[in-house]
Amino acid sequence: MRLRTALFLSALVPLAACGTGYPVYDVPGVSFAPPESEGLEALQFMQGCWRGSEVNGPTVEEHFSIDGAGTMLGWSRTSRGGRVASWEFQRITDEVSDVVLEVWPGGEMSSARFVLTDLVEDTRAVFEDPGHDFPKRIRYQRIQDNLLQITVDGGPSGDGDVVQLTMARVACSGA
């Protein structure tokens, strides 16, 4: 019975997926990790903890980490007067044909799928979703080793506002 159960479970394991298009395996002592993502490795300049604010404006924090298995996770929070005004989760995945940024503003999944359309390794990444209301484009640009500029806008057509924030690399806090 144990052998039959083990065979059945081993047949199901490859069917599990974590949204990256790669199967998930969890067998002690054996590595079935998918290949390292070339697309995400070029986004390493975004990895880490960032903070920025405008004069008398809100403080924005962004945190990104790459797991080496085709996924980059992030979160951001905007605070005013010591209180959180908004927050979101982010996931960047290296899918079969595209690198995709998905966001969960306030923890709610958005229908937007921002596809990486421009990449200059270790310098700039531009994600676009022309079908989304706003923003249509999100750009991450490394200005210096310790400065990251994030720009969100209405895309090439210039629809909507342009929001730009320069953030400094900060020490990641927490346990």
Instruction: Say yes or no: 106 and 74 in one domain.
Output: yes
Instruction: Say yes or no: 66 and 133 in one domain.
Output: yes
Cis peptide before 28 (omega within 30 of 0): no
Whether the Cβ atoms of residue 149 and residue 162 lie closer than 8 Å to each other:
no
What's the CA gap between 147 and 82, in Å, rounded? 23
Of 55-59, 102-106, 135-139, 158-162, the poorest mean pLDDT is in 158-162
Instruction: Say yes or no: 23 and 91 in one domain.
Output: no
57 has a pLDDT exceeding 60: yes
Mean pLDDT rounded to a whole number for the chain: 81
Does a structural domain hold residue 175?
no
Nearest to 37 by CA among 97, 103, 111, 115: 97
As a whole number, mean pLDDT of residues 82-86 equals 94
Domain carrying residue 2: 1-34
What's the CA gap between 71 and 33, in Å, rounded? 12
Does a structural domain hold residue 158?
yes
Does a structural domain hold residue 138?
yes
Residues with Cβ within 8 Å of 107's Cβ and at least 6 positions away in sequence, in order, are 87, 88, 89
Does a structural domain hold residue 66?
yes
Instruction: Say yes or no: 46 and 88 in one domain.
Output: yes
Instruction: Say yes or no: 23 and 71 in one domain.
Output: no
3 has a pLDDT exceeding 70: no
- How many independent structural domains does the chain possess? 2
Q: Report DSSP state, residue 146.
A: T
Express the helix, strand and coil content of the chain in percent, nearest 5 each.
Answer: 10, 45, 40
Q: Where are the alpha helices (DSSP H) in 15-167?
A: 38-41
Give the confidence band of 40 by pLDDT, cuts at 50, 70, 90: confident
Give the confidence band of 38 by pLDDT, cuts at 50, 70, 90: low
112 has a pLDDT exceeding 50: yes
Identify the H or E element spanning 43.
none
83 has a pLDDT exceeding 80: yes
